[in-house]
Amino acid sequence: GPGISGEFRAGFLGGISGFPEPSPPSFSRLSPPGWVRQRLEEIWGGVRPWGSFLDQRRFGVPRDFGELCRRLGHNAERFQSNYLILFLGLVLYCLLTSQLLLVALGVFVGAAVAVRLRAREAPLVILGETGREL
């Protein structure tokens, strides 16, 4: 631009001033690991149409306990991705609408990290049993 010498620009960007050339920012640390990306693709690929997931005409009272178990197993397998997305949506809703839940979650995560760090220093003992025996 006007008023900025070419030497200053070159020095600012590297070269003349002895600083290395700037590199573009790397966001590779922000992208999920390969196994996470693969699992997310499996989940999104397995989503059944929401119309068939919520079709009330297909709801009915099972005749016996055996049919109930078969239906639950079939629905859990067939609509696994839909149930997971629904569950995660409800969890997100709860976290965003309840500040106390956020505090409780923070305390839980903090306690889990503290226990993990403590377990690295010495075996964790609960009711006389070490962490490896639990």
Question: Per-residue pLDDT tens for 17-30?
Answer: 555 554 544 545 55
The structure's pTM equals 0.48
The pLDDT assigned to 107 comes to 92
Q: What are phi and psi of 79, to 5 degrees?
A: -110, 30
Mean pLDDT is lowest, of 12-16, 64-68, 120-124, for: 12-16
Mean pLDDT is lowest, of 36-45, 77-86, 98-107, for: 36-45
Position 11 pLDDT exceeds 50: no
Mean pLDDT of 65-89: 88
Position 12 pLDDT exceeds 70: no
Give the chain's mean pLDDT.
75
* Token pair listed for 56: 């009330």
Residue 85 CB coordination number (10 Å): 17
For residues 74 and 52, what is the distance between their CA atoms, to the nearest angstrom? 14
Mean pLDDT of 40-52: 81
Share of the chain above pLDDT 90, in %: 4
Domain ranges of the chain: 6-97, 98-134
CA distances from 69 to 65, 66, 74, 78 (A): 6, 5, 9, 14
Position 10 pLDDT exceeds 60: no
The pLDDT assigned to 14 comes to 45
For residues 15 and 17, what is the distance between their CA atoms, to the nearest angstrom? 6
Residue 119 CB coordination number (10 Å): 13
